[in-house]
């Protein structure tokens, strides 16, 4: 049963790392917006193109954060490694 505790501890640590992805995603989205606003200020005639590209970048960054949250939820509540370990023991 010591091995089961080790697997659960590893799952909690990996879930925390996955949730850290959400925090870093926030900083990435802030960087995307800041650079887009700066680019629009320098070239107002290209604002529509820059805005479209910014929204695509924001959507991709948000998807990364959602994937991290999904993996964290799976590791905490539906961890497949625990079932494999219990079948092995």
pLDDT of residue 33: 96
What pLDDT sits at residue 5? Answer: 85
Indicate which CATH number applies to the domain containing 29.
1.20.20.10
Map tokens 């320098």 to a residue.
42
Look at residue 47 in the predicted model and tell me its pLDDT: 94
The reported pLDDT for the residue numbered 88 is 80
| pLDDT (0 to 100) of residue 59 | 94
> Which pLDDT value is given to residue 31?
95
Task: Provide block-wise average pLDDT over 10 residues at a time, the chain (89 residues).
Answer: 84 91 90 96 94 94 91 87 79
Query: Which pLDDT does position 36 carry in this prediction?
Result: 96
Residue 24: which domain range? 2-88
Nearest-angstrom CA–CA distance, 18 and 22? 7
How many domains is the chain built from?
1
């Amino acid at each position: 049963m010591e091995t089961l505790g080790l697997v659960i501890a590893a799952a909690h640590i990996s879930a925390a790392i996955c949730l850290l992805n959400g925090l870093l995603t926030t900083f990435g989205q802030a960087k995307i917006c800041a650079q887009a606003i700066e680019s629009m200020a320098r070239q107002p005639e290209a604002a529509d193109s820059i805005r479209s590209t910014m929204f695509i970048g924001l959507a991709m960054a948000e998807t990364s954060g959602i994937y991290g949250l999904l993996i964290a939820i799976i590791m905490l509540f539906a961890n497949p490694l625990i079932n494999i370990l219990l079948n092995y023991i």
